[in-house]
Amino acid sequence: MSSTLDSLPPALAKIVQRFQRATDPKRRYEQLIWYAQKLNDFPEVDKVPENKVPGCVSQVYITAVLDDGKVVFQGDSDSQLTKGLVGLLVEGLNGLTPTEIVQLTPDFIQATGLNVSLTPSRANGFYNIFKTMQKKALECKLELPN
C-alpha cells in the first residue's frame, strides 16, 4: 500500500494534510508540540526495555493493546519534539486493525515534510518509532484467535 493521501487511513491523511499546509518549519514544530501535549499520561510501569524504541537518541516508549480488534497505542518520550512525533503517530494509527498498520508504508513521513525540518537523527527516530508501532501491531495480531 503506497501512502498517497487517498490510501492513508483518514486520521493519518488529516495529519499529513495539516503538516503540508504548514510550510514554515516553526509552524511544524509548534504542531509537534501540540501533539505532544495531547498524549495521555504514560504509566511509569510501562517504561520497560521491551517497550523502548530502539535507535532513538531520546528515550521513547510505545505500548499497544487490542481493543475489539483495533490497536490502541500509548507512547511517551523525554524530548518534547520526539513526544510530538509519538503523539502524531498515536493519533494517526490508533483504532486501526493490526493488518492496516502493518500494510502502511512510511512514505507518509516524507509527505508531512517533517523529514526536511527534523535533524537526521530525529527523522531516523521518527522512522524507528513507526517501525516499532508496526512491530507491536503485528504482535497484537499474533495474539488474535484464528
Query: C-alpha distances in angstroms, 51 versus 19, 100, 106?
Result: 28, 21, 20
Question: Any idea what DSSP says for residue 45?
Answer: G
CA neighbor of 58 nearest in space, from 124, 109, 105: 124
Bridge partners of residue 77, in order along the sequence:
60
Active site residue 56: yes
Catalytic site residue from 56, 62, 96, 129: 56
Helix (H) or strand (E) holding 67, with range, is strand 60-67
Query: C-alpha distances in angstroms, 113 versus 18, 41, 65, 94, 124?
Result: 10, 27, 29, 22, 14
Cell of 14: 488529516
φ and ψ at residue 77, rounded to 5 degrees: -150, 155
Question: Which residues are known to be catalytic?
Answer: 56
